[in-house]
A and B are shown apart, each in its own frame.
Chain A
């Protein structure tokens, strides 16, 4: 029995580490389409984690959130982002405020901070999710970091939904998810915000002929 629990928690650990690796790839690549594929892959890993947690814990409402997150995060949002990329026809790689090697090093520092700051908490955690809280915190912080360093609007959207992924994962791993009504609200929230931001991206492209959000600071044409 304990053997089974250890194997289960290791499976979740490995999926969590896969999510962390994909987040690092998101910081290390400049191609938008690769970034969106990476996001879809990470969402798929997250869905697998929540499905696994649902089957281990036997809490039924996690199955519902799993199904919704599969539909929304793996299919709808990446499909919508691909649609925007195709529609505004971006060819150029995206620009970053600091170069990639340095931002990878900073990302490493952020992950260190996340691991260090959660160390006091996870000592009292059960073995089920020892790894998950630091990884969830680092995914959240890394999403924030992506929003800061990237200039292009779509990459900033990706950063925002990365943050949301991290928080969802943290809730899932520490308390088997939030109440169903809160989860539903969150999903609806994220979907609407991505759609609205997509429309904004389209407008930014229309008026400035670029996706660089720095132009939004200018008051006059």
Chain B
């Protein structure tokens, strides 16, 4: 009975509570590497508190979709964070959902964000929305196929089972098709989270922005929720990547000592991938919009190859 209460709380604390910290960490490291001092690592928290205290300004021409969107995006990412195994192999909503639901929930959040960006009728919002749809129409197939390659390897679409299988069978983890799926998913995560080769999260220059363009009309608590949701999305995607492909150290029950070790390793692994993101952002310029299909096409082909090689080995 207690496990039914402890586990959701623990996962929510990790994903919801620490996601702004990951963002702050990425910003801080990037600033240090560019030999700037950079904002504090807790700056995203200060931003959220400040935005939550402010009044929201809503355009008169907008409909209910605009007001509902921040809640829809936030809640759908929140549900995903309860399906993904974080510290323990057990997940709170184990019976309810699997990989397919996760993909659809991401799509739902994105769909509402795009609708709301069109809703106010601002030109930049519409531009951001159409670009987001263009990128996601290519990122999504690659994401689906690479997750399916993993699911076929582990013979289950349930993330909890997948992590469990891969944790106990280390030879299965040394599988070429998992390597291909890992490469594809890595590219897709950068595109989905709106990081630099695809989208620049720091700019508000109207010609380049994708994700920021859609958030342009939001203010106050709506903006706070939308930004919090986007940082949660990054952490959830990284968690999926980490716990599928590098599951070592994740607790298989709810024992206290196991959870402590799992948390320490989780922090190390997430920190490592955040560092990789920083390195990628430092060493690449943002791609021209019409070059993005090349990058995502590569990811798509890698994920197709992952599935093909899986069938050839058998």
Which residues from chain A sit less than 8 Å from chain B, CB to CB?
3, 6-7, 10-11, 13-14, 16-18, 20-21, 24-25, 28, 100-101, 104-105, 107-108, 111-112, 115, 119, 122, 130-131, 134
* Minimum distance in angstroms from A178 CB to a CB of chain B: 25
A14 with B294: in contact, given A24-B302, A104-B301, A115-B308 (CB under 8 Å)? no
The answer to whether A112 and B308 touch across the interface, beta carbons within 8 angstroms, is yes
The answer to whether A18 and B179 touch across the interface, beta carbons within 8 angstroms, is yes
The answer to whether B180 and A17 touch across the interface, beta carbons within 8 angstroms, is yes
**Given A17-B176, A104-B297, list of 19 further CB < 8 A pairs?**
A3-B171, A10-B174, A11-B174, A13-B175, A18-B179, A20-B305, A21-B180, A21-B183, A24-B298, A25-B298, A28-B294, A28-B297, A28-B298, A100-B297, A101-B297, A104-B298, A111-B305, A119-B312, A131-B313
Chain B residues near A13 (CB-CB < 8 A)? 174-176
Chain B residues near A107 (CB-CB < 8 A)? 301
* Number of residues of chain B lying within 8 A (CB) of chain A: 19
Q: Which secondary structure dominates chain A's binding surface?
A: helix
Which residue of chain B has the shortest Cβ distance to A11 in the bound complex?
B174
The answer to whether B297 and A14 touch across the interface, beta carbons within 8 angstroms, is no
Which residues from chain B sit less than 8 Å from chain A, CB to CB?
171, 174-176, 179-180, 183, 293-294, 297-298, 301-302, 304-305, 308-309, 312-313
Chain B residues near A18 (CB-CB < 8 A)? 179
A100 with B302: in contact, given A10-B174, A111-B308 (CB under 8 Å)? no
Which residue of chain A has the shortest Cβ distance to B305 in the bound complex?
A111
Chain A residues near B309 (CB-CB < 8 A)? 17, 115, 131
* Minimum distance in angstroms from A45 CB to a CB of chain B: 12
A104 to B296, CA, bound (A): 11
The answer to whether B179 and A134 touch across the interface, beta carbons within 8 angstroms, is no
Which residue of chain A has the shortest Cβ distance to B298 in the bound complex?
A28
Chain A residues near B312 (CB-CB < 8 A)? 115, 119, 122, 131, 134
The answer to whether A7 and B174 touch across the interface, beta carbons within 8 angstroms, is yes
A11 to B293, CA, bound (A): 32
Q: List 24 A–B pairs whose Cβ atoms lie within 8 Å, in order of A's numbering.
A: A3-B171, A7-B171, A7-B174, A10-B176, A13-B176, A14-B176, A16-B176, A17-B180, A21-B183, A25-B298, A28-B294, A28-B297, A28-B298, A100-B297, A101-B294, A104-B294, A104-B301, A105-B297, A111-B305, A112-B308, A115-B312, A130-B313, A131-B309, A131-B312
Which residue of chain B has the shortest Cβ distance to A111 in the bound complex?
B305
Which residue of chain B has the shortest Cβ distance to A15 in the bound complex?
B176
* Minimum distance in angstroms from B286 CB to a CB of chain A: 16
Which residue of chain B has the shortest Cβ distance to A115 in the bound complex?
B312
Choice from A6, A101, A119 contacting B171 with Cβ under 8 Å:
A6
A14 with B313: in contact, given A24-B298, A115-B308 (CB under 8 Å)? no
Most buried by B among A7, A11, A101, A115: A101
Choice from A10, A21, A104, A134 contacting B175 with Cβ under 8 Å:
A10
